[in-house]
Every structure is written in structure tokens, then in C-alpha cells.
Structure 1
Amino acid sequence: MTKGSDLKEQFYDVVIVGGGMVGAAQAAALVKQQKRVLVIEKYIPNSDVLAQIPLRVSAINLASEQYLTELGVWSHIGETSKCMFNQLATWEQRHKPVIFSATDIQKSHLGYLIRNEALQLAAYDELNNTADHAVDIITDCKLTSIDQTNEQVSVQLTNHVSNETIIFHCSLLIGADGAFSQVRSLTDIGTTGWDYQQHCLSLTIKTDFPTQHITWQEFQPSGPKAFLPLEDGYSVLIWYDNAEELQQLVQLSNEQLKNQVLTRFPDLAGEFDVVAKASFPLTRRQANQYIKGRVVLVGDSAHTINPLAGQGVNIGYKDVEVLSQLLEEIDIKQSETLSAVLKQYENIRKRESQLMSLAMDSFYNLFSNDKAAVKLLRGGLLTLANKFEWAKKQVLKKAVGY
């Protein structure tokens, strides 16, 4: 694996713009197919970041765990960076919880809460295990233009330090550069979507109680409150509320935030301290198309959904899995063959992500308001969920990716 911003103009099978969790996994998948890959990423953290306080965490379901294991990525995730959970609880404030358990579907666990940096770095560790020159990585550069013909894509970058212009050519360009994708913008792919009324506050807490293996979510009139367990004495609390309220909360000291948590969250398992915080808006975006010529979008570049059920990165990993499987047996230099495969990818993944977005929106609209009629409906649904085991199992199987 070659790193650095001093690579000269070359031709690659695939150029991936964006080397985060999804982009790095995409690179690992394609390198295993003996494709020559270039990853363009603004900044790649080193392993020292894993010793810092965790803040950005993703819920990885069983299907994603299985796929990352097949890629060889899973084995590089350290035990202190991930926390297994075998139960998931949800309830309306002052009502009986619905508890989903791994034993309901004959599994040992439902998934893991994992630091985002650990997922990203694990993919690079696996890339480091590949043969020399199978993958190159370039950093400290800005994507400035994309041009394509029927035979190839040309990608132009500008070096942040030297202001030098670099051009690479490839048979396929993959945009994995997130919700504000430059690849999507430069190829004139539009989006549809909206911003939700609520924002999200993420609080990392240092706990004095043992590691929990249950993640839970309580629905309150102002928005859900959730608990995400981590290892190494940390957990993350998720607080949904209107933008004005969260803007005030984020200005508070950690001690003041702790007092707010004690007042407004369900009781935690013991003593804790707030040690880190971050807030972000909630948005839904769907690219109008996932492909354009020899350019294809994966992950948040193609779709962002409400994170209420923690499915975002799992959808991205599924993009990677489907695209990689379709590319494995073809010659990507052949325009007609590549076009047919990319269209197949778009048909499969766009339909699935739209269905997931619709499901999350329905979930959000049902549980993120205080209208009397809606409260009655969701209370009835939660009561039914506790009574009908078959329905609980079907919901749970969908949540874990099966």
C-alpha cells in the first residue's frame, strides 16, 4: 500500500473518493478482486485516536458484522473499541418497555456499538495486509474536477500544500465522500430530501457501573432519549430535541449537562460523568440517481436517513457488498458490460434505501411528536409488540439485516 500526496499521474481500475468507514471497506473489497485501487481521502487518523475519548459511534448489525468478517476487516477491530449488545429495549415514557433479545432469533447477540474511527482504521489495517501496490492512498488534496468519456474517467486534484494539480485516470470512479459529496456535485447528480425539525445531541459519559449489553430508547414528548453502551468504561447518550433547545444545551458545561441528564433521562445503571459532547442536525437526502456513466455513489453520498434506528452505516456496507459482488466477474473496461452492472446496482440499492428511508420516516413521525391520537396509536403498537412474539421476531430480523 502506497500512501502520500506525491503520486504522479497513473491509470487505476478504480478510484474511490472518500476513505471513511464505507469507502475504506469498498477499497478492501475491490483489492481482494485484484483490482488496482486509488483512495482519495482528506485525512486518515492514526491509531492514537483510539486512546482518546470516543464520540462518534455506529451500531453494526449482524449482517454488516458478517460481511466485514468476510473482508478480513472485523479481526482488526480491538475489543476496547466495540461493545456487543444482546438486548434492545424501547418504550413510551411511563409505559412498559418492549425488549428485543438475541435469544428471540436464536442468536448470541444483536450487534455491536463501535467507534467510527475503529471501523475506518480496521479497513486500512486489512489493506496493509494486501500485496504491494494493490492500493494507493492520497491525502491532503481537494477534488476539483471530474471528466469522463465512454472509456475512462479523469479525476483532477489540487494539493493543499503545494497547490499542484494532479490528474488520475480510471475505469470506474466511486463516490464515497459523504452527505456533501463532491463527486455527486461535480457529476451534476441532484438530490431530494429535507431537514428534520429535531437535532441530535451526543454525550459521551464515563461510567462507574459495569459494561451494559443492552441499548435502549425512551420516547418522550420532546424526542427520544437513547443509551448506547461501549467498552472501556464509556457509554454514549443520544438526545433528540428541537434545534433551539439543543443549541442551549450544547453551551452548558459537562457538569451542567450531567444534571440535565439526571433530570430528563431514564435512570442509568450507576454513577457517571459527561466527558464529551457533539450536536448535529438530522437530514434525509436521496441522490436522484446512483450512477452516471462510469461514476457510482455508495454510502452517504447516495443516501442519508434518520439515524433513529442506527441503520445508516449498515446501508452503506450493503452498498459495498452488492456493488463489489456485481463487479467481481466483469471486465470494467468494457463500457456496455459495466453500464449494465451499474444499472443493476442502482436498481437494487436505490429501492432498498428508499424503503429504509420510508420506514425510518414513519418510525420518526410516529414516535417524535406529542399528538394525543398518535400517542394512543404508538402505545397500542408497543403493547401489541409485547404480546405477539412472531411480529417481534420479524422486526428484529429486519433490524439485524436478515
Structure 2
Amino acid sequence: MTKDSDLKQQFYDVVIVGGGMVGAAQAVALVKQQKRVLVIEKTIPDASVLQQTPLRVSAINLASEKYLSALGIWPHINQSSKCMFNQLATWEQRHKPLVFSAEDIGTEHLGHLVKNEALQLAAFDEINALGQNNLEIMTGCKINKIEQTNEQATLFVSDMRNDKTNTNSNTNSNTINCSLLIGADGAFSQVRSLSDIGTTGWDYQQHCLSLTIKTEFPTQHITWQEFQPSGPKAFLPLEDGYSVLIWYDQASQVKELSELSNEQLKAQVLKRFPALVGEFDVVAKAAFPLTRRQANQYVKGRVVLVGDSAHTINPLAGQGVNIGYKDVEELSKLLAEVDMSERAALFQALSKYEKTRKRESLIMSAAMDSFYSLFSNNKTAMKLVRTGLLNLANKFEWAKKQVLKKAVGY
């Protein structure tokens, strides 16, 4: 693996823009297919970031864990960066909890909460362990333009490290050619924008406040969510004495909360959250809007989108990154036997990818919207419906198991 090589006029089988959790996993999958890959990412963090207070974590379900294990990524995640949970509880405020257990479906656990950086670094660790020389990484650059012909996609990229004052500089420009360009660069994807791929979607009325807490109680292996009139409140366990609290509320309320000190936030948590099992302190916070976005196309010529570049959904059920890993798995499977120089075979694989993944993503988005609408308001009719559904699930084990299997990706 080489970094920041002289990339002028180089040709690659695949260029991946975005080396985060999803993009890095995509790189691993394609490198193992002996494809020549270039990853373009702003910065690649080093392992020291894992020693910092955790702030961004993802719920990795059993299906994603199985796939990451097959890629060789999962074993590189150290124990302190992930926390297993074997129970999932949800309830309406002042009502009986609905508790899902790993025992319900005959598994040892339901998933893990993992630091985002740990997922990203584990992918690059696996590439290093392979000793492959068919992956290169380019950092500190800006993509200025994307062009396509029948034979290739071309990126015009400028090195921003040598001209930090002029963000429109084209000095030290590289022209990079490839058979396939993958956009894995997130919700505000440059690849999507420069390829003239539009989006549809909306912003939700609620925003989310994420609070990292330092706990004085043992690690909890349960994640829970209570539905309140103002919005859900959730608990995500982590290792090393940390956990994350998720607070959904109106945008104005989240803005006010984010301006409070950590001590003031603790007082609000004690007032508004279900009782935690012991003492804690708030040590970090982050606020962000809730959005739904769908790219109008997942494929345009030799450009294909994966992860948040293609879709963002309401994070209420923690399925976002898991859908991204499904994209990676499907695209990699379809490309496995494709000679990247064979245009017809490549385009056929991309067409299958778009058809399959867009359909499944839209179904999941619609399901999350229904879930959000049902549980994020205080209308009497809705309260009766959701209370009835939770009570029904508590009474019928078969229905409970089906919901749980869907949640873990099966």
C-alpha cells in the first residue's frame, strides 16, 4: 500500500472517494479481488484517535458483523473500541418495556456499539496485514471536476496542502483515470454533486443531541429507548467506563441544550431521562439534524454511490451504516467476476446493483419514516396505536422474533 504517490495520469480499476467506515470496507473487498484501487480521503486518522473520548459510535448488527468478519476487518477492532449488547429494550413512557433478547433468536448477542474511527482503521489494518501493493491512498486534496467517456471516468484533483489560502486552486493538479468511480464520501457527496446526480428528501422537525457520559457503574450490555412526548431518549453502552445518551427533540430545544455546560446537561438528563443504574458525568456532546435523502440515481455511467452518498435515513433504529455495508457487500459480489475493462459486463453489474440496493434502501427509509411518525408525536390516536403494538409484541413471541431478526439484519 502506498500513500500520496505521484498519481498524474495514472489508471486504476476503481477509485473510491471517501475512506470512512463504508469506503474503507469497500476498498478491502475490492483489493481482495486483486483490483487496482485508489482511495481519496481528506485524512486518515492514526490509532491515537481511539484513545480520545468516544463521540461517534455506530450500532453494528449481526449481519454487518458477519460480513466484516468475512472481510477480515472485524478481528482488528480491539475490545475497548466495541461493546457487545445482548438485549434491546423499548417502551412508551410509563408503560411496560418490550425487551428483545439474544436468546429469543438463539444467538449470543444482538450486535455491538463500535467507535466509528475503530471501524475505519480496522479496514486499513486489514489491508496492511495483506501486504497488498494494489491499493494507494491520496489525502489532502480537492476534486474539481469529473468527466466520463465510454472507456473511463476521469477526476481532476488538486493538492490543497500546498495552497491552503485558495480553495479554488488548481495548482499541483492530478488527472486520475479509472474504470469505475465509487462515491463513498457521505451525505454531502462531492462525487454525487459533480456527477449531476440529484437527491430527494427532507429535514425532520427534530434534531438529535448525542452525549458521551463517563460512568461509575459496570458496563451495561443492553441498549434501550424510551419514547416520550418530546421525542425518544436512548442509551448506548460502551466499554472503558463510557456510554452514549441520545436525545431527540425539537431543533430549538436541542440548540438550547447544546449550549449548556456539561454539568447543566447532567441535571437535564437526570430530569428527563429514565433513571440510569449509577452515577455518571457528561464529558462530550454533539448535535446534528435528522434528514432523509435519496440519490435519484445510484449509478450514472461509470459512477456508483454507496453508503450515505446514496442514502441517509432517520437514525432512530440505528440502521444507517448497516445499510451502507449492505451496499458494499452487494456491489463487491457483483464485481467479483467482472473484468473491469469489459464495459458491457461492468454496466450490467452496476445496473443490478442499483436495482437491488435502491429498492431495499427505499423500503428501509419508508419503514423508518413510519416508525418515526408513529413514535415521535403526542397525538392520542398515535399513542393508542403504538402502545397497542408494543403490548401485542410482548404477548406474541413469533412476532417479537420476526421484528428482532429484521433489526439484526436477517
| TM score, norm. by length of structure 1 | 0.99
1:87: which partner in 2?
Answer: 87
**Quick one: which amino acid aligns to residue 130 of structure 1?**
L
RMSD: 0.8
Preserved contact between residue 254 and residue 287 of structure 2 (Cα < 8 Å): yes
Look up the equivalent residue of 1:155 and give its one-letter code. Answer: L
- Secondary structure at 1:161 match in 2: helix
Question: Are 1:113 and 1:229, in contact at CA under 8 Å, matched by a contact in 2?
Answer: yes
Say whether the 8 Å CA contact 1:15–1:174 is kept in structure 2: yes
State the shift of 1:337 in Å: 1.1
Aligned twin of 1:100:
100
1:227 to 189, 212, 235: 235
Could you tell me whether the CA contact under 8 Å between 2:7 and 2:175 is conserved in 1?
A: no
- Pairing 1:111–2:111 present: yes
Q: 5 Å matches for 1:1-400?
A: 1-4=1-4, 6-162=6-162, 163-400=171-408
Structure 1 position 167, deviation (Å): 1.0
Identity of aligned residues (%): 75
Moved more, 51-60 or 123-132: 123-132
Q: Report the alpha carbon displacement of residue 6 of structure 1 after superposing the two structures with TM.
A: 4.5
For 1:60, give the aligned amino acid.
Answer: I
Asked whether the 8 Å contact 2:77–2:119 carries over to 1, the reply is yes
- Which residue of structure 1 lines up, in the alignment, with residue 167 of structure 2? none
Conserved? CA contact 2:5–2:136, under 8 Å: no
- Provide the rounded CA distance (Å) in 1 between the counterparts of 2:6 and 2:160: 12
- The amino acid of 2:101's aligned partner reads S
Distance in structure 2 (CA, Å) of the matches to 1:107 and 1:60: 15
- Report the alpha carbon displacement of residue 4 of structure 1 after superposing the two structures with TM: 2.2
Q: Secondary structure at the match of 2:232?
A: strand
Partner Cα distance (1:291, 1:68) in 2: 24
1: CA distance between counterparts of 2:338 and 2:314? 35
Looking at structure 1, the residues matched to 161 and 28 of structure 2 have their Cα atoms a distance apart, in angstroms, of 28
- AA of the residue aligned to 1:24: A
In 1, Cα distance between the equivalents of 2:11 and 2:4?
Answer: 17
1: CA distance, partners of 2:149 / 2:19: 25
Q: Which amino acid in the other structure matches residue 174 of structure 1?
A: I
Counterpart-to-counterpart distance in 2, 1:35 and 1:342? 16
Shift of 1:302: 0.3
The answer as to whether partners of 1:5 and 1:159 remain within 8 angstroms in 2 is no
Structure 2: give runs of 5+ residues left out of the alignment. Answer: 163-170
Give 1:114 shift.
Answer: 0.2
Cα distance in 1 for partners of 2:75, 2:376 equals 38
Unaligned runs of 5+ in 1: none
**Using the alignment, how far apart are the partners of 1:161 and 1:58 within structure 2?**
31
After superposition, the C-alpha distances for 1:83-129 in whole angstroms (9 at most, x for unaligned) are 00000000000000000000000000000000000000000101112
- 2:23 is matched by which residue type in structure 1? G
Count of matched residue pairs? 402
CA distance in 2, matches of 1:63, 1:221: 32
Looking at structure 2, the residues matched to 325 and 333 of structure 1 have their Cα atoms a distance apart, in angstroms, of 17
Q: Give the Cα–Cα distance (whole angstroms) in 2 for the partners of residues 190 and 372 of structure 1.
A: 38
Alpha carbons 2:7, 2:176 under 8 Å: kept: no
